[in-house]
Amino acid sequence: MVWTLFAVAVVLAVLLERIGSRRRTLQKRHVRLKALEQIRLLRLLLEQVQRHRGLCFGVMSGEHSLENQRWQVEAQVAQTLEAVAVHQGSLFWYTAWHPVLPVWQQIAEQRAQNASAEAVLLLHHRMAEQLISTIEALAVRHDLVCLGALAPQPQGMWLELLKNTELLGRARAVGTGIAARRQNSALQHQELQRLREQINTQCYQPLARLCTEPLLRLSVDKPVRAAEDSLDSLLQAVDQLLESGDKPGLASNRYFSIATQAISATLAIVDLLLERLQAPGALAYK
């Protein structure tokens, strides 16, 4: 009788542990899904801020035909910031998030005060950096890069790709300013040359690694080829600007469009990987 009761107690203990473990796993998945929702919203905000930076620098460098696009993107940023405000309570715990709104306000104030194009450009750089740092902090806290392993996993490469869009975004902004002919200085040329080298060194590698992953190869093959082709086009456009010297080069709105295609192609892969993380069972690790 005693042994029977002991056996029943052991079975019940095992069942309760499994139920508890299952419940904890589901809770963690729920929290991670919430973090992914925040990351995707911040990723959208980052894209819009990067686009506004390029348009703003182009307009302030003399290409006034970009002003209508700049105004539209500014409205989009304001709308996304309203959506982000819903998550303000949880984002408050990430110190990288604290300067984001103040910097956006500074951008508007500096433009209204007719500050230099370079000063406004640097403020955009800072805002983009803070957004990326916030996204990275969210990803690390909720294990959305290593995914339960000791090193970053293929599906966690979305963060590396997202960081690379900042290189592309800066190249878009600086190149648009150069193409507008008002910021065609040696310093701007040096900065664009530096960004070109970084893009060539950093942006192709993660794309190539994705294509070697058996579980991802079929889904990322076409997006990766599109991203690589768009990077090729961007580097060609950069070279055209750098080689033009004082001669008429690529039109600023054309250069902006080419750079935007490269950024959009990379972001498409970021979104694909984030969607895979949201699939049932994808986040069911401890």
Q: What pLDDT, on a 0 to 100 scale, did the predictor assign at position 281? A: 67
pTM of this prediction? 0.89
What pLDDT is recorded for position 183?
55
> How crowded is residue 127: how many other Cβ atoms within 10 Å of its Cβ?
25
pLDDT, position 229 = 98
Q: Taken in order 221, 212, 135, 89, is the CA torsion positive or negative?
A: positive
**Long-range contact pairs involving 69-76 (C-beta distance under 8 Å, separation at least 24):** 73/48, 76/48
pLDDT on residue 18: 55
Q: What is the pLDDT, as a whole number, of residue 26?
A: 47
- Output the pLDDT for position 252: 92
Mean pLDDT (10-residue bins), the chain, 286 residues: 55 51 53 92 98 97 94 98 94 96 97 94 98 97 90 92 98 94 78 97 96 88 97 97 76 96 98 89 59
CA 235 to chain centre: 20
Kindly report each contact of residues 228-234 with a partner whose C-beta sits within 8 Å and lies 24 or more positions away, as own/partner.
Answer: 228/204, 229/265, 230/258, 230/261, 230/262, 230/264, 230/265, 230/266, 231/199, 231/203, 231/204, 231/262, 231/265, 233/258, 233/261, 233/262, 234/168, 234/171, 234/199, 234/258, 234/259, 234/261, 234/262
